[in-house]
Chains A and B, each alone.
Chain A
Amino acid sequence: MSNDFENTRGRAAVKLFREMLVVGFVYVGAVFASSVAIKMLDQPQWVAALLAFAPIVPATFMVSVQLRYMRATDEFERRLQSESLIIAAAVVVFASLAYGQLEDLAGFPDISLMFVFPAFCIVWSIASIVLHLRHK
Chain B
Amino acid sequence: MRNRLKVLRAERNWSQADLADKLDVSRQSVNAIETGKYDPSLPLAFRIAKVFALPIEQIFSDDEVAQAAE
Who on chain B is nearest to A79 by CB? B38
* Closest B residue by C-beta to A136: B28
Query: Which chain A residue lies CB-closest to B29?
Result: A76
- Give Cα A75–Cα B39 distance, bound, in whole angstroms: 10
**CA–CA, A5 to B32, complex, Å?**
16
With CB as the reference atom, state the residue of chain B lying closest to A77: B26
- Considering only CB atoms, which chain A residue lies closest to B24 in the complex? A5
Q: How many residues of B contact A (CB 8 A)?
A: 20
Total A-B residue pairs with C-beta atoms closer than 8 Å? 51
Question: Cα distance A4–B22 when bound, in Å?
Answer: 9
Q: Which of B25, B27, B44 has the most CB of A within 10 A?
A: B25
Name the residue of chain B whose CB is nearest to the CB of A7.
B21
A-B pairs, 8 with minimum CB distance: A76-B29, A74-B25, A3-B17, A3-B21, A135-B28, A5-B24, A135-B32, A3-B20
Chain A residues in the interface with B (C-beta under 8 A) = 1-6, 9, 73-77, 79, 132, 135-136
Question: CB within 8 Å of A: which residues of B?
Answer: 15, 17-18, 20-21, 23-29, 31-33, 37-38, 40-41, 44
